[in-house]
Chains A and B, each alone.
Chain A
């Protein structure tokens, strides 16, 4: 799906006739992106990250270091040990993320894939929120806090309010949307009214949200009666998100919500009037103002929308997967969302796949840690490297000696 009102021909060959049918254009532009290198660069960036990660894995492997001591005597040992360490780690990563070929049944073998989907669900939703802000020129680094607040209110509604099944879940989700939106809205209002930079304010609000959650967990309203543990009551079954593929897998309808959220964001940013204004303000606030768009109001709306999505992510995580609040409810969803949004280039489809990739790396990383003892933090390294390389396609092209798809025309207007 293309994302602009009118197909972006920035990287199209000159004088391409404007396509008339939008669906045809969507396909065409997707094909074009694949063929002219955007997707290729992403794949190569991933390869490059895996190679560097492999070097790290090998470097800390005791057998490899042992073999390195007598490298000149028997170099083959060293390479063999390195290969074994890396291939074992990566095959465990794959088994934990996509398909476990050593499982007895097919149903069990694909369980990792469903785990990936489960982990990816809140990531995708929160990353969509971050992306909305990015495209409106705002850096919402505070998704973490918004996820926490979204999960908190959704949880509170979920274990307190007695509502019929279905409605309970819906209301709790809406609560998450509301809480996340308002939390980010604080940063939006401060930015619009005082110019306080949203990066600083959202980061600070993250810390405030963490303390707030810690306090919630000490109050009667949240705590399990009679327990001193910092852990809330469990969400009533009516408010929980139903499972998507039955009892065998943890995937819930949250995954469908993630897909719907992606479609919504696509519509919002490329078909709606408010999204048109979001993008206009993101690219050029001065021209937007001259065109009668209230930049201040849009700034607040953008943050509300962005936070609402992050809050939804928190609600989905809580009502679908966690079911009760702890101080670690948000994990690193909010921070990962930033990198997922970057990797997905702030486009809904890109974010969907980037979220799955991240989900896969996390799910696989846990499995890898258990099976091979490779610390899961290697996944963070891989994630960071992929985003870095994707952000600098020129570097990737230089490393792999790929010519640029079209001559860059920067400065042609000078």
Chain B
């Protein structure tokens, strides 16, 4: 099936999310759509999938213009989509999820057996191991993604859109996904692969289209080099590597010992974790989403009570203290999900900049809050962090992702810290802000603050870390230096012990390494 987008324009009020975009997707082709966060990739795909109606332009299938009034039209035309945030009902089973929207029935009753059989059949065809009766919420994200692919293929999708599919995967799982994509393409399915990760694009794409600020800025061959692609994506030369001086670790100030954390169901999420951290050092905690890193960070802040173990910061035991007390003890915390946990979207930027500082003497008056001080603080931080806002009074929820994250980081770094913990500090943030935030974090380290970065992005881990702890299923698999090769880290993230990972990495280099060496 030949799919064409002709002059697609989509506006939200004054904002032009897609500006006359043309795109041709040939049958059996893997077409990468490369662009920064907020460049308009997802909007374009939502237009293609019938979720948004374009203001201008048209979609053509095999040369015939079509109008999609909703996703059902797109589905009927053979377009399937795997969304970045999975579109699965957590309380449904796999079979129910796959059948939803095109259910087969026996009389008036649902024919669940037919759905189960279909799941098993597709699962076997792609070599997935998916139980049709498993509940979605009990499945790991990697499996949920496979359910999404089965969902699309169960409707005979001729074009499969994958929106940032690798964000939640290990490098090895990413390789497996790439293999699946190739297999699908070989069988004639066209694939639109949306990503901002240069390596993956070069590994799998037949054609690369780069989008910036809602418009197509060009296309490239998979052989194009990374900095060239990055420059196209961002619109200027990008420093892919962060310039940072070697760490000057001081005294060890944080020691975590035998930390054991259970979740509500009683499952171990942090399993006897121990590590030390010195002043002026960045420890990155790497791992695939859901291996206990987030819980580790939350436990340090006191959001989760550990069952056993201790966290001693400069001689003070943090376990058993409230979040308030731990913040007051000088722990700065950037939560993983900023709009959910880091900001009150309806509050102004100024209010968000003092969200956990409302009892700070700087913002106190005898009766209530010192509004003038709050305002002055906002003006200062907005300048210092180059937060793009209409003013301190603008609701924080209306800022872009990068600017929201700057608000959170600015707030947490606006007081003297004994420890700085940041979870996914640059998730969903534009390249410019990433550079800025990374520099600011290194700067904080250089003033002597010990820093913990929790990240699932190996790029970020490699850029920032002085030391790396890799977590898998709640345990630290190994503690390695900051310059450990990505292959080794990737294997460790899949639970392979350090020595074994080194050996395997040497024997079976991943696509990424091959590409990297090919560049040399």
In their complex, do chains A and B touch, with some C-beta pair under 8 Å? yes
Tell me whether B275 is interfacial, beta carbon within 8 Å: no
Tell me whether A291 is interfacial, beta carbon within 8 Å: yes
Query: Given contacts A280-B347, A414-B42, are A292 and B323 in contact (CB under 8 A)?
Result: yes
- Could you tell me if A287 and B355 are in contact, using CB atoms closer than 8 angstroms? yes
Tell me whether B469 is interfacial, beta carbon within 8 Å: no
- Could you tell me if B323 and A8 are in contact, using CB atoms closer than 8 angstroms? no
- Could you tell me if B375 and A290 are in contact, using CB atoms closer than 8 angstroms? no
- Could you tell me if B348 and A6 are in contact, using CB atoms closer than 8 angstroms? yes
- Could you tell me if B335 and A290 are in contact, using CB atoms closer than 8 angstroms? yes
Q: How far is the CB of B294 from chain A (nearest CB, A)?
A: 12
- Could you tell me if B369 and A413 are in contact, using CB atoms closer than 8 angstroms? no
- Could you tell me if B303 and A272 are in contact, using CB atoms closer than 8 angstroms? no
- Residues in B neighbouring A408, C-beta threshold 8 A: 13
Q: Bits for B1-27, please: 1 = Cβ < 8 Å to A, else 0.
A: 000000000001111010000000000
Tell me whether A111 is interfacial, beta carbon within 8 Å: no
Query: In the bound complex, what is the Cα–Cα distance between A411 and B369 (angstroms)?
Result: 33
- Could you tell me if B369 and A6 are in contact, using CB atoms closer than 8 angstroms? no
- Could you tell me if A5 and B391 are in contact, using CB atoms closer than 8 angstroms? no
- Could you tell me if B324 and A294 are in contact, using CB atoms closer than 8 angstroms? yes
Q: How far is the CB of B379 from chain A (nearest CB, A)?
A: 8
- Residues in A neighbouring B367, C-beta threshold 8 A: 267, 271-272
- Could you tell me if A414 and B43 are in contact, using CB atoms closer than 8 angstroms? yes
Q: How far is the CB of A176 from chain B (nearest CB, A)?
A: 25
Tell me whether B420 is interfacial, beta carbon within 8 Å: no
- Could you tell me if B341 and A6 are in contact, using CB atoms closer than 8 angstroms? no
**Chain A residue nearest to B374 in the complex (CB):** A5
Query: In the bound complex, what is the Cα–Cα distance between A273 and B362 (angstroms)?
Result: 13
- Residues in A neighbouring B358, C-beta threshold 8 A: 273, 276-277
Tell me whether A10 is interfacial, beta carbon within 8 Å: yes
- Could you tell me if A6 and B378 are in contact, using CB atoms closer than 8 angstroms? yes
- Residues in A neighbouring B348, C-beta threshold 8 A: 4-9
Within 8 A of B (CB), among A1-38: 4-10, 12, 14-18, 22
Within 8 A of B (CB), among A288-309: 288-294
Tell me whether A279 is interfacial, beta carbon within 8 Å: yes
Query: In the bound complex, what is the Cα–Cα distance between A278 and B390 (angstroms)?
Result: 26
Selected contact of B344 from candidates A9, A22, A287, A409, CB within 8 Å = A287
- Could you tell me if A10 and B395 are in contact, using CB atoms closer than 8 angstroms? yes
**Chain A residue nearest to B399 in the complex (CB):** A413
Tell me whether B356 is interfacial, beta carbon within 8 Å: yes
Query: In the bound complex, what is the Cα–Cα distance between A272 and B335 (angstroms)?
Result: 26
Tell me whether B193 is interfacial, beta carbon within 8 Å: no
Tell me whether A407 is interfacial, beta carbon within 8 Å: yes
Query: In the bound complex, what is the Cα–Cα distance between A403 and B380 (angstroms)?
Result: 38
Among A284, A286, A294, the most chain B Cβ lie within 10 Å of the Cβ of A284
Within 8 A of B (CB), among A322-368: none
- Could you tell me if B369 and A272 are in contact, using CB atoms closer than 8 angstroms? yes
**Chain A residue nearest to B359 in the complex (CB):** A273
Query: In the bound complex, what is the Cα–Cα distance between A15 and B303 (angstroms)?
Result: 38
Selected contact of B390 from candidates A4, A15, A412, CB within 8 Å = A15
Tell me whether A283 is interfacial, beta carbon within 8 Å: yes
- Could you tell me if B395 and A18 are in contact, using CB atoms closer than 8 angstroms? no
- Could you tell me if A409 and B12 are in contact, using CB atoms closer than 8 angstroms? yes
Within 8 A of B (CB), among A38-81: none
Tell me whether B28 is interfacial, beta carbon within 8 Å: no
Tell me whether B340 is interfacial, beta carbon within 8 Å: yes
Query: Given contacts A279-B347, A411-B12, A414-B42, are A271 and B391 in contact (CB under 8 A)?
Result: no
- Could you tell me if B371 and A290 are in contact, using CB atoms closer than 8 angstroms? no
Q: How far is the CB of B371 from chain A (nearest CB, A)?
A: 6
Query: In the bound complex, what is the Cα–Cα distance between A18 and B335 (angstroms)?
Result: 29
- Residues in A neighbouring B344, C-beta threshold 8 A: 279-280, 283-284, 287-288
Q: Bits for B329-365, please: 1 = Cβ < 8 Å to A, else 0.
A: 0000101000011111111101100011011000010
Query: Given contacts A283-B346, A292-B323, are A412 and B368 in contact (CB under 8 A)?
Result: no
Among A15, A271, A292, A413, the most chain B Cβ lie within 10 Å of the Cβ of A292
Tell me whether B322 is interfacial, beta carbon within 8 Å: yes
- Could you tell me if B375 and A18 are in contact, using CB atoms closer than 8 angstroms? yes
- Residues in B neighbouring A277, C-beta threshold 8 A: 358
- Could you tell me if A17 and B391 are in contact, using CB atoms closer than 8 angstroms? yes
Tell me whether B471 is interfacial, beta carbon within 8 Å: no
Q: How far is the CB of B418 from chain A (nearest CB, A)?
A: 15
Q: How far is the CB of A10 from chain B (nearest CB, A)?
A: 6
- Could you tell me if A290 and B342 are in contact, using CB atoms closer than 8 angstroms? yes
- Could you tell me if A292 and B342 are in contact, using CB atoms closer than 8 angstroms? no
- Could you tell me if B343 and A284 are in contact, using CB atoms closer than 8 angstroms? yes
- Residues in A neighbouring B12, C-beta threshold 8 A: 409, 411-414
- Could you tell me if A6 and B390 are in contact, using CB atoms closer than 8 angstroms? no
Query: In the bound complex, what is the Cα–Cα distance between A290 and B378 (angstroms)?
Result: 20
Selected contact of B350 from candidates A6, A12, A14, A291, CB within 8 Å = A6
Q: How far is the CB of A192 from chain B (nearest CB, A)?
A: 15
Q: How far is the CB of A399 from chain B (nearest CB, A)?
A: 24
Query: In the bound complex, what is the Cα–Cα distance between A293 and B347 (angstroms)?
Result: 15
- Could you tell me if B395 and A8 are in contact, using CB atoms closer than 8 angstroms? yes
Tell me whether B432 is interfacial, beta carbon within 8 Å: no
Tell me whether B394 is interfacial, beta carbon within 8 Å: yes
Q: How far is the CB of B16 from chain A (nearest CB, A)?
A: 10
- Could you tell me if B355 and A280 are in contact, using CB atoms closer than 8 angstroms? yes
Query: In the bound complex, what is the Cα–Cα distance between A328 and B49 (angstroms)?
Result: 60
**Chain B residue nearest to A22 in the complex (CB):** B371
Query: In the bound complex, what is the Cα–Cα distance between A171 and B160 (angstroms)?
Result: 72
Query: In the bound complex, what is the Cα–Cα distance between A81 and B141 (angstroms)?
Result: 71
- Residues in A neighbouring B326, C-beta threshold 8 A: 292
- Residues in B neighbouring A287, C-beta threshold 8 A: 335, 340-344, 355
Selected contact of B391 from candidates A9, A10, A283, A407, CB within 8 Å = A9
Tell me whether B465 is interfacial, beta carbon within 8 Å: no
- Residues in A neighbouring B393, C-beta threshold 8 A: 4, 6-9, 12, 18
- Could you tell me if A16 and B391 are in contact, using CB atoms closer than 8 angstroms? yes
- Could you tell me if A409 and B13 are in contact, using CB atoms closer than 8 angstroms? yes
Query: In the bound complex, what is the Cα–Cα distance between A12 and B398 (angstroms)?
Result: 13
- Could you tell me if A284 and B345 are in contact, using CB atoms closer than 8 angstroms? yes
- Residues in B neighbouring A6, C-beta threshold 8 A: 348, 350-351, 371, 374-375, 378, 392-393
- Could you tell me if B343 and A9 are in contact, using CB atoms closer than 8 angstroms? no
Tell me whether B431 is interfacial, beta carbon within 8 Å: no
Q: Bits for B34-72, please: 1 = Cβ < 8 Å to A, else 0.
A: 000000001100100000000000000000000000000
Query: In the bound complex, what is the Cα–Cα distance between A15 and B398 (angstroms)?
Result: 13
- Could you tell me if B391 and A18 are in contact, using CB atoms closer than 8 angstroms? yes
Tell me whether B229 is interfacial, beta carbon within 8 Å: no
Known pairs A272-B369, A409-B15 / 15 extra A-B pairs, C-beta < 8 Å: A4-B348, A7-B348, A8-B348, A10-B395, A18-B375, A273-B358, A276-B358, A279-B347, A286-B340, A290-B335, A291-B327, A293-B356, A409-B13, A409-B398, A414-B42
What 4 pairs across the A-B complex have the smallest Cβ distances? A291-B356, A292-B324, A412-B12, A271-B368
Residues of A within 8 A of B (CB): 4-10, 12, 14-18, 22, 267, 271-273, 276-277, 279-280, 283-284, 286-294, 407-409, 411-414
A-B pairs with beta carbons under 8 Å apart, 25 shown? A6-B351, A7-B393, A8-B348, A18-B391, A267-B367, A272-B367, A273-B368, A276-B358, A279-B344, A279-B347, A284-B344, A284-B346, A286-B340, A287-B335, A287-B341, A290-B333, A290-B335, A291-B355, A292-B322, A294-B323, A294-B324, A407-B14, A409-B15, A412-B13, A414-B12
